[in-house]
Amino acid sequence: MSRSEHPLVEAYRTFSPASAARAEHAQAVFPGGDTRSSAHYGPYPLVMESADGCVMTDADGNRVLDFMNNFTSLIHGHAYTPVVEAVQHQVALGSAYAAPSAEQIELGELLRDRVPSIELMRFTSSGTEGTQMAVRCARAATGRQKIMKMEGGYHGSYELAEVSLVPLPNECGPLNHPTSTAVDASFPDSVLADTIICPYNEPDIARALLQEHGADIAAVIVEPMLGSMGMVPASPEFLAALREETQQRDIVLIFDEVITLRLHEGGAQALHNITPDLTCMGKIIGGGLPVGAVGGRADLMQLFSPNQERPVMHASTFSGNALTMAAGLAAMRNYNQADSERLNQLGERLREGFNQVFANAGVNAQAQGQGSLTNILFSSAATGNARQSMQAMIDAGHIGPLLHLTMLRHGVMSATRLMYCISTAMGDAEVDRAVAALEASVSELLPYIKTERPNLLAA
């Protein structure tokens, strides 16, 4: 039976006929009916009509709890009143000035005062742009070309940021010397040659690779939690090894905190008590509007200053635009350490509930992550690096996407890769509803797991 003909896919089609019609219409406008690869899934995505708090309503009138929050960016959920009011006020005054605004300066000060590594900073239009500018800054500062990134690490939509994003077993090479691999056919060989790949959570291998290549490396860029490959938390030993080795070799250490900034008022770096040289941000700092930022040591960030003889070039039409700054300031003023701790506790409640469901059903699956960020992988234990996560995805086959579709029918939205995150619009009741939805979904899936993927059953 092909996945497209699977009974659970047909049940999803029955659940969402209006979205199906909209998806067919979109085929005439967008390649594959899609304008954003990360938000697409088969047989078609739900088309949303409105959203409020933690609930979205689709074209068929189905109400679903949003545990995706636009890939972790909506820290307060949808249509959060302070953000709505700030945006309504600002849009009447103008959306983008190509000039500073008071809100831009105030939001910058708020972030600088919270995040330990930030002495100076710049806003960008996306997290992608933030990591691009961090890498360029490091190259300008060191005079070196190569970058070390983590296997499975995602830092935006450009070639260097996606090298070895998907470590396929027959392509990724040995663990102690991973091969730089392209995610698609658009990658030039020069990008692969300039990117040193390090396995996640392997401090000894990281030290060896930095000792071998350190003289040529401008920067090491790392997520304190490996986001796109299963929400794998970094071990303290791994981050400490990166910090120690980069300091010894005058290599710029970049923390990509686009996702993890929500874990603590000062980001994951505050949790780990490790201060990188540069920090990239995005998602929650924009209040739901497009945003990014890079900040860090003053001597590095001064390389962007227009007062420099040859500053690092950073021209970006919508960076620091007044509308995003107003929304971001409203969002961040209303998110503090107490909020972060509450959401982290809800995330732990979610993982515990999910794992109990899998244990009761006798299914080899694990909800892992940290704080308010969670990912389901079909494995009997939490994974520690991208290769383990990749193998879990391979072992699960079509069961993972089927679980995603079935959870939608039971009223819970996650990312297709089964990533869940918490917003301040949620409480115990919403988490418990998600656990109940998983229990119902696994019950529906279990007969197919037994016949189609018996390897996922506990012994």
Helix (H) or strand (E) holding 368: strand 366-370
Q: Minimal CA–CA distance to 43: which of 13, 85, 82, 78? A: 13
How far is 339 from 374, CA to CA, in rounded Å? 17
Predicted pLDDT of residue 459:
81
Q: Model-level pTM?
A: 0.97
How far is 192 from 167, CA to CA, in rounded Å? 14
- What is the distance, to the nearest Å, from the Cα of residue 360 to the centroid of all Cα atoms in its chain? 30
- Domains recognised in the chain with CATH numbers: 3-78+337-456 (3.90.1150.10), 81-333 (3.40.640.10)
Label residue 3 by pLDDT band (50, 70, 90).
low
| Residue ranges in 172-321 assigned as alpha helix (H) | 189-193, 203-213, 236-248, 268-272, 298-301
Label residue 357 by pLDDT band (50, 70, 90).
very high
Q: Tens digit of pLDDT for each residue in 331-347?
A: 999 999 999 999 999 99
Q: Minimal CA–CA distance to 251: which of 286, 282, 212, 287? A: 212
Q: Which residues are catalytic?
A: 154, 256, 283
Helix, strand counts (H, E) of the chain: 17, 16
Predicted pLDDT of residue 5:
82
How far is 445 from 441, CA to CA, in rounded Å? 6
From residue 377, give the alpha-carbon distance in Å to each of 61, 71, 383, 408: 30, 17, 8, 17
Assign 423 to helix, strand or coil.
Answer: coil
Across the chain, what does the average pLDDT equal?
97
Q: Minimal CA–CA distance to 6: which of 378, 405, 412, 361? A: 405
Least confident among 26-40, 323-337, 365-379: 26-40
Predicted pLDDT of residue 2:
55
Q: Minimal CA–CA distance to 15: which of 433, 443, 413, 420? A: 413
Percent of the chain with pLDDT over 90: 97
Q: Minimal CA–CA distance to 230: which of 356, 370, 363, 348? A: 370
Contact predicate 62/15, CB 8 Å: yes
